[in-house]
Chains A and B, each alone.
Chain A
């Protein structure tokens, strides 16, 4: 087993274990920190396949932005030592069965298919390529989704401010 395989299997073990902990932990703040570890391991996997820009975006936006946002909202809405109630055991078993059966069906469907892996072309996603594709309008150009995303982000920003803004009617509580 080569070094890359060892690193990959370690990272995937980290991802799966911390995802499991994030969805089962009864303390909210710990769940958010476990999510941070799972997302950090994902960024490391992106580094392994040499998508450096995507790994940086993952670290900045997911690990830096979304996790901090989640931790802020946890601190704003619940006590820091608050423990969640354990879910109903019957519900846990049924949902676990659903998840296991779903994973099994997905596994069955791709285990019989033979994927033909192509040898790597050596093209690395460097900044020049990314910039040219992001603003390109020819084949494999992404200028339309890029502009749509910018409008979406503006709309989300205005929407978030409008929703969270204190209105006059509930100012008294």
Chain B
């Protein structure tokens, strides 16, 4: 893998993926699709951690553990976010960001 793919190509892929996530986060108006964009960004960052670990610091497994913790935090974040969306939908019948302008009824 190291001999065949230079690290710059890997970084181009993760950069593109991260900015695709940013594009989605800024253009979408539905809260669930915004959550999907955030997941894409987190995934790109995870890939970056893993590849820096694998290419530059082999055998130390630091990026590996960082990615594990990021995945755990992403799971917690998604669970809480979706609980909030369901509560919002129950209260105002919409999960459009432009209609969500109150935090509490």
Question: Is B24 touching A22 in the complex (CB atoms < 8 A)?
Answer: yes
Q: How far is the CB of B43 from chain A (nearest CB, A)?
A: 6
Q: Is the interface of B mostly helix, strand, loop or mixed?
A: helix
For chain A, residues 107 to 136, give those with C-beta under 8 angstroms from any C-beta of chain B: 107, 110-111, 115-123, 125, 129-130, 133-134
Known: A15-B17, A74-B32, A164-B86. A117 touches B11 (CB 8 A): no
Q: How far is the CA of A168 from the CA of B67 in the complex (A)?
A: 41
Interface residues on B, range: 35 or more
Residue of A nearest to B36 (CB): A35
Q: How far is the CB of A107 from chain B (nearest CB, A)?
A: 6
Q: How far is the CA of A78 from the CA of B85 in the complex (A)?
A: 11
Can you report 27 residue pairs joining A to B where beta carbons are below 8 Å apart?
Answer: A5-B5, A16-B16, A19-B17, A20-B20, A23-B33, A35-B39, A45-B47, A48-B1, A62-B74, A62-B75, A66-B75, A66-B78, A76-B86, A76-B89, A77-B86, A78-B95, A84-B29, A98-B22, A102-B19, A107-B11, A107-B15, A117-B2, A120-B58, A129-B61, A130-B64, A133-B65, A164-B83
The 5 closest A-B pairs by CB, nearest first: A23-B24, A156-B76, A121-B59, A123-B59, A160-B83
